[in-house]
Every structure is written in structure tokens, then in C-alpha cells.
Amino acid sequence: NAGVTQTPKFQVLKTGQSMTLQCAQDMNHEYMSWYRQDPGMGLRLIHYSVGAGITDQGEVPNGYNVSRSTTEDFPLRLLSAAPSQTSVYFCASSRSEFRGHSNQPQHFGDGTRLSIL
């Protein structure tokens, strides 16, 4: 059972380039989310999805787009990378609270370490 898989593990971009971070889960979880982690700032929620076709913004959504065409996949897109987006990005999944499984623990992927020059 793979759990939550993120690709790539590392990436270096130049300012202005675009990129998609991939996230896939094989646990049939309805809820998926993206976080960024910066030193001293904990994990901050970028976007989340409660099911296929439904996405919403988190705490720091600017500069990022998401889509959820299937239950399994939740890609994160950087349309025009900026140095301020240098960070470690984590994808997480869980059962959705709206399916009668409230307050579920999040299962995290191993992260993508992104540097923007």
C-alpha cells in the first residue's frame, strides 16, 4: 500500500517558470490538501479538496492553482514561480468529515523540496 505519493522529491526552477507538483493517494480518501513548510512557520494550508470536482482555498493560496478531476490525484500548479515560493511542499489526504468520518487524521506524503532561483 503506497499511501500518499508525491513527485518529484526535489526540483529547482528559475523565476517565471511553471511547474506542476504531483500528488496521488491509493486509500480512496475524499479529502486532500496541500501545505507548504517554511522554517519557523510550521505548515500552512495552500488549497484543499473535499472530493473530486471540488476545491477551495486555504491560508496561502496566491500563486498556486489546483484541480481535482479524480479521487486519487490532486496536482498543485505554480503558474509563474517566484523566489518566495521556495519551500517544502506536502500533500496530505484523509477521509472527509462530510461522509460521517469527522476530524480524521491526515496522511502525508514525503514532500517535494522546491527551490526557485
* Contact residues: another protein, CB under 8 A: 31, 33, 35, 40-45, 48, 50, 56, 58-59, 90, 92, 97, 103, 105-111
Alpha-carbon torsion (18, 51, 28, 85), positive or negative: positive
- Name the residue nearer to another protein (CB basis): 17 or 58: 58
**Nearest distance, CB of residue 18 and another protein, angstroms:** 25
**Residue pair 76/89 in contact by the 8 Å Cβ criterion:** yes
> Read out DSSP for 38-58?
-TTS-EEEEEEEEETTEEEE-
- Name the residue nearer to another protein (CB basis): 54 or 79: 54
Closest listed residue to residue 20, CA positions, set 69, 72, 67: 67
**Nearest distance, CB of residue 80 and another protein, angstroms:** 26
Report the Cα 89 to chain-centroid distance in Å. Answer: 7
- Name the residue nearer to another protein (CB basis): 62 or 103: 103
**Nearest distance, CB of residue 67 and another protein, angstroms:** 17
- Name the residue nearer to another protein (CB basis): 77 or 107: 107
**Nearest distance, CB of residue 106 and another protein, angstroms:** 6
Look at phi and psi of residue 26 and say left if phi exceeds 0, alpha if psi is from -120 to 50, else beta.
Answer: alpha
